[in-house]
Amino acid sequence: MNARLWVLILAAAIPILSPLPVRAEIQVASRSILSIYVFVPEGKKSDAPASALLRAADRALRERTSLYAIGVDELGIDRAVLDTCDPAVRFGCWVRAVRSASSAAEYLLVLTFHPELGIYSVLIDVGRAAPALELPQERAEAEIFSGIVETKRAPLNAGNEAALGEYFTRLFEVELRPMLERSGHYRAYGAISVRGSEKGAAIELDGAAIGVAEGAETLISGVSGGKHVLRVLEKGSLPFETGVQVERGKTAEVIFLRKTVPEDSWAPEALSIGGGVLAGAGLIVSAVGVVHAADGLRSACVVRDGAAGGCASLGAPSFNYEPGRAPELDRERIDSGGLRIAPFGVALLATGLVLGGGTWFFTDGEEINWWIVGASVLAGGATYAAGAVLGAR
C-alpha cells in the first residue's frame, strides 16, 4: 500500500475520529419525583433489567414533563416489602411505603411486566391517595383505586432499547397525559438552546447566574413560558444579551454572537480612576477650606447708634482669602470673593464619587455612559451652589 493511499485513508477517518460537539444541560426549575416499581409476577422472570426500563422512562419524562424517574430502591424502599404486600390491600401498602421514604415522590408508577403477556402500568398520585390511608383498609383501597390511571396491557420487547423508548413515549404522551396535565406537570416548561459560546462562558437568565457553558451547545431546561433575558459572558468578548420568548414544551434557539473587546476599552476604566482622583482632591481642598474657616479670624464693623442691621459675615473663605491683612474694616481687602474653597472641595468630592462609582457599577463594555458624566457634573454644581449659599451666612 503506497503512501498516497494511506493519506487518503487518514483524511477520510479524521471526521470520524474527531470528537463530536458536546451538549451540556443546565436545569433551571426543580423537578418532582416519579418513582417506578417494576412488578414481576411470582414465578416469572423479566428479560429486561430494571435499569433499562428506568433509563427509558426517565428520558421520556424529562422531554415532556417536569418530573424525573427513579427506582423505589433509590427512595430507600425495600423492594421485598412491596413484593409481599397483600393483594387485597396492595395499593394502600404501596402508597404507605412510598410516603414513609426519605425522599418525597409525587407519583408511583407500577410497571407490571409479564414476559408472555406484555406490560401494563398503574399510575398513583401519592399525595392525593395519602388521606385515604386514614380510612379502614378496604375503604382506603377502594378510594385509592378510584384515583389511579391504569393502562391496557401491551406487548413489549423489553430487551430492545428502541422498543422501550416507543413504549414510554406513548405512555406519557397519550395514556397518562390527562393526569399529568391536570397536575400541571405535562409540558410545564420550555428550554433555551445556546450555541456558539466557548466552554466556561458564564450564563445568566433574567439577571441570575445559572451556570457555565460546557460545550458547543448548552441546553437550559426547565424554563417557564414567557419572555426572558439571556446574557452570556465570555472572556475576551463583550457581554452578549438578548430577549428570548419561550413556549412550553418547545426549545428556543439562541446563537451567541461574539464581539471582541476593542483596544480602546480603557475609557470607562479611565473615567472610574479619574473619578477617584477627583474625590481625593476634593477631600484635600475641603480640608484646606475648613482649616481657613477655623483660623480664628472674626468680622467686626462700626454701627451707628440705633441703626438697624448687623455686621456682614466673612462666610466661607475663597481662594482670594488673605487673613494676613487683618485687622481691616474693608472686608473685601481680606477676601475679595471668588471660588469658595470648602464648597468647591465638597463639589469635587461629589463629582468624583458619582463619576467613579457610576462608571464602576453601571458601565459594561467599552462605551462611555455619558449620562453618568452629566450626572456627576450636575451633582458637583448643585453641591457647590448649596455650599456657597450656606457658607455665605
Identify whether residues 35 and 166 lie together within a single domain: yes
Q: What is the pLDDT along the chain (393 residues), one digit of tens a residue?
A: 455 544 444 444 444 444 444 557 787 777 889 999 988 776 556 555 678 888 999 989 888 888 999 999 898 998 888 988 998 999 999 999 999 987 789 999 999 877 777 888 999 999 999 999 999 999 999 999 999 999 988 888 777 888 889 999 999 999 999 999 888 888 888 889 998 888 889 999 998 898 898 878 888 888 888 899 999 998 878 888 999 999 887 889 999 888 776 555 566 777 778 778 887 887 887 777 676 665 555 555 655 655 555 555 556 766 666 665 666 656 666 666 667 777 777 878 888 788 777 777 777 656 677 777 888 888 878 887 777 777 655
- pLDDT value, residue 6: 47
Identify whether residues 194 and 171 lie together within a single domain: no
Nearest Cα neighbor of 260 from 239, 232, 282 is: 239
- pLDDT value, residue 147: 93
351, with CB counted inside 10 A (0-12, 13-18, 19+), is: buried
Q: Which of 151, 179, 207 is the last residue of a domain?
A: 179
Instruction: Give the three cell numbers for residue 7.
Output: 493519506
Identify whether residues 232 and 174 lie together within a single domain: no
392, with CB counted inside 10 A (0-12, 13-18, 19+), is: middle
Alpha-carbon gap, residue 389 to 383, rounded angstroms: 10
Alpha-carbon gap, residue 364 to 81, rounded angstroms: 60
User: Is there a domain that residue 326 lies in?
Assistant: yes
Name 163's Cβ contacts closer than 8 Å, sequence gap at least 6.
156, 157
Domain that holds residue 286: 266-297+311-391
User: Is there a domain that residue 151 lies in?
Assistant: yes
Maximum distance among all Cα pairs of the chain, rounded to whole angstroms: 127
Identify whether residues 40 and 81 lie together within a single domain: yes
Say which amino acid occupies 282. Answer: G
Q: Which of 139, 160, 179 is the last residue of a domain?
A: 179
Identify whether residues 241 and 120 lie together within a single domain: no
User: Is there a domain that residue 15 lies in?
Assistant: no
User: Is there a domain that residue 120 lies in?
Assistant: yes
Instruction: Give the three cell numbers for residue 356.
Output: 467613579
Say which amino acid occupies 325. Answer: R
User: Is there a domain that residue 355 lies in?
Assistant: yes
The CATH number of the domain where 246 resides is what?
2.60.40.10
Q: Which of 122, 157, 179 is the last residue of a domain?
A: 179
- pLDDT value, residue 311: 59
